[in-house]
Amino acid sequence: MTFTVAPMTSVEHDRVGRTIEDAGVGALRTDRGNLPLERLDVRATITGLIGRVVLTTGFVNTHDTALEATYVFPLPDRAAVTGMKMTAGDRVVEAELRERAAARQAYDDAIASGRRASIVEEERPDVFTMRVGNIPAGERVTVELSMVGPLVFEDGAATFRFPLVVAPRYVPGTPLPGPSVGDGYADDTDLVPDASRITPPVLLPGFPNPVRLSIGVDVDPAGLELGEVRSSLHTVVREGTTVTVEPGERVDRDFVLRLAYAGNSTAAVCVPDPDGDEGTYQLTVLPPEPAGAVRPRDVVLLLDRSGSMSGWKMVAARRAAARIVDTLTADDTFAVLTFDDRVERPVELGTGLVTATDRHRFRAVEHLAGVQARGGTELFEPLRQGLSLLADAAEGRDPVLVLVTDGQVGNEDQILRDIAPVINRTRVHAVGIDRAVNAGFLGRLAARGAGRCELVESEDRLDEAMTHIQRRIGAPVITDVVVTPASSLPVSAIYPGVPLVVFGRYSGAAPESMTVRGRTRDGADWQEVVSVRQLSEPAVRAQWARAALRDLEDRYATGDRTLEAEIVRTSLRFGVLCRFTAFVAVDEQVVSDGTVHRVVQPVEHPSGWELPAPPMAAPMVGFAPGRFGAAPDGLALPPAPAAFAPPPAPQAAAGRTRGRLRSAAPKPMAGGGAVTDDSAELREIAALEVQRLEQDAGRPAWEREELLADLVSRLGTLVAGRQGAAYEPLRRLVAELTAGGNVDELWARAVQVLREFAAKDRRRSFWR
């Protein structure tokens, strides 16, 4: 693919703008200053239970100076990122995987010297940052990431999940001094020292679709019988074994594809290394039929009622929690805790575990039915209290903790570290409810508690998911699992309907067979011997490396700081990205003087979230004078809050940071507050538009004409569908600006109308 690369003249400006205008359904209707990310392309090939994906991000610079774009984005938490390349015109640069500090230095040196460069870094197992710098005016640059990962297989269906948006996360803790390490809306804190790197600015609700999304999945059953293929959150078209999404879909929720497979069987494969006498194996064992009675359980149910759970998520979470309570029997004991920034329990059930009688279960469900979303997601304290209730479970009883949440917290490492000593033999299960769920954290939490993680992305999926959950929260069918040859990754239990999948490394010749041993529910010995076949499949090696790196990173997060060198060695040896390495691509061609216009790409407001846009939306929009340069046209530019600071020096990235959410920003996870007056939000935006017009009043007439055209686009979107005389001045202004005329007169008219609208009966609403 070839793109034209040239500096933009005024004529070319118009041509590029018109091209973007016709880019597809939902594209921004502005002639200049669009957000840098113009397209996102996901091409996946599924072979059996292995998914290979190429993610292409396309950036365009419609400014008249060189651009540096920053994009914070999610990836599947179990996918191994194995390659990256940058393309600009006919120049293609393959990225190199380096230790993170060295990669950053190479990137910064390239930008300072005027060369194109790009870098991708991991912030969490499922959150990444991409920077693309020195994009000349008028140029388009694409960055491709290659990855491979396993599909989850449960109860006869495989799930391919590809996340598309990083949802706002609650950031607890005390502010840290010094500059922030990233450009997000949240300050860094002692509990989340990189909060500013995982909280990208968020587009205002109702803003036109800024990104063209395309997703295509080719499915090769690899000998398995393929049944129904369905997507729960996107409209898809299936032609044979190829699935694509309809044009115009927004980048605001996970893409979830479920494939009904028949014929999955127990198998073991060994893949020798290209050099040396070592190799990687993958073992899959189907669970046996449950035998023996389920032992009595001590169950603690934790229900997240924080602000981010409002809307359909709260309804689904209440239903899920009630279904879990209904599975209990008179032999079980239980407790129910609901939490936000406080922890509450049903008054009638006391402070400890109670027997699961009909009366107690009724009281618990009655309490759950009245729970409403509010407050912030303080997750550690309810986990601590729940695990403490289960710490003294008697022999012969199974202690079980079930967490129902969206998992949208930023202090994952702190939570995993602090609960590790009190988990003991409690099994921790997570039920993730969201269309953009924090799957990486919930999977890590369940793995630490030898439990299962079930994800629910819609109310339609709830009943199906709850059937699975009810089977999982009982005792596993096999416990005390041991694999021979030994696995380097933790193995603990086999659950009903969920095959055991184990990755490991071997030395010398590949084994002829592998053995799995364990104990059934009634304490009897159980064993399965599986014959081994050799394959040449690099995906097995990459998937083992990713799983090994996740385990090492979790151990690092829980306090073992000696593991950093081993993590880096493993990442570089097997060519798989991790938190301490980065992919960096540097072009040797000099294209600018090293002065760049910095823009942080805002992300979509997550689908299904009922959080309104804040009155002061500066951090949510993500631009402020002196930090990110001028705002792109199509977004209102508020005054820069004092809390904004210059970007940190590269070497400060792992150093000291500072904390809590900025005063001018909403606390996204604190929920609760709402805009009570439908026009209050629009008056705030009108005031910001006035400020912007006043700032740009000295620009040339041709520039102000373009800015007015952009203003029409924004106002047209904001007043569309609003009824009432209050909005009539804005509708008339849109009509006048559309008709055209003298630029000076139209400019003055816009300032007058917007100022009067902003001042009329103005009331402010703030987030709690």
Instruction: Give the separation between CA 286 and CA 274, rounded to whole angstroms.
Output: 30
**Mean pLDDT in residue range 365-371:** 90
Q: Is the pLDDT of residue 3 over 70?
A: no
Q: What's this model's pTM, rounded to 2 decimal places?
A: 0.75
Is 535 in a helix, a strand, or coil? Answer: coil
Q: Is the pLDDT of residue 431 over 90?
A: yes
Q: Cα 687 vs. chain centroid, distance in angstroms?
A: 32
Q: Is the pLDDT of residue 635 over 70?
A: no
**Mean pLDDT in residue range 352-359:** 93
Among all chains, which residue has been given the structure tokens 């469900």?
365
Give, to the nearest 10 degrees, the angle between helix 743-759 and helix 680-695: 140
pLDDT of residue 169: 93
Helices (H), 558-679: 564-574, 618-621
**Mean pLDDT in residue range 583-609:** 93
Instruction: Give the separation between CA 110 and CA 117, rounded to whole angstroms.
Output: 6
**Residue 613's pLDDT band (boundaries 50, 70, 90)?**
very low
**Residue 92's pLDDT band (boundaries 50, 70, 90)?**
very high
pLDDT of residue 155: 82
Q: Is the pLDDT of residue 335 over 90?
A: yes
**Residue 82's pLDDT band (boundaries 50, 70, 90)?**
very high
Instruction: Give the separation between CA 444 and CA 556, rounded to whole angstroms.
Output: 13
Instruction: Give the separation between CA 245 and CA 262, rounded to whole angstroms.
Output: 25
Strands of 434-545, DSSP E? 453-456, 478-484, 493-494, 500-507, 513-520, 525-534
Look at residues 215, 213, 285 and name the one whose alpha carbon lies nearest to residue 527.
285
**Considering only 348-362, 478-492, 661-675, which range has the smallest mean pLDDT?**
661-675
**Mean pLDDT in residue range 197-206:** 86
**Mean pLDDT in residue range 446-469:** 84
Q: Cα 287 vs. chain centroid, distance in angstroms?
A: 31
Instruction: Give the separation between CA 212 and CA 248, rounded to whole angstroms.
Output: 7
CB 208 within 8 A of CB 28: yes
Q: Which residue type, as a one-letter code, is found at position 612?
A: P
pLDDT of residue 434: 94
pLDDT digits (tens, 9 = 90+) for 700-755: 886 787 678 767 756 765 665 566 788 888 888 888 887 888 889 999 999 999 89
Give, to the nearest 10 degrees, the angle between helix 380-390 and helix 412-423: 10
Q: Is the pLDDT of residue 295 over 50?
A: yes
**Mean pLDDT in residue range 183-197:** 93
Look at residues 334, 328, 338, 335 and name the one whose alpha carbon lies nearest to residue 303.
338
Instruction: Give the separation between CA 311 and CA 136, rounded to whole angstroms.
Output: 44
pLDDT digits (tens, 9 = 90+) for 649-692: 333 333 323 232 222 233 333 333 333 345 676 787 788 788 88
Q: Which residue type, as a one-letter code, is found at position 685?
A: I
Q: Which two tokens stand for residue 399?
A: 């202690």
Please state, in angstroms and as integers, the Cα–Cα distance from residue 96 to each residue in 82, 100, 565, 583, following that order.
10, 11, 19, 5
pLDDT of residue 679: 63
**Residue 72's pLDDT band (boundaries 50, 70, 90)?**
very high
The listed range with the strongest mean pLDDT (220-229, 270-279, 386-395, 579-588) is 579-588
Indicate if the alpha-carbon torsion angle 757, 758, 761, 763 is positive or negative.
positive
Q: Is the pLDDT of residue 486 over 90?
A: no
pLDDT of residue 471: 76
pLDDT of residue 516: 93
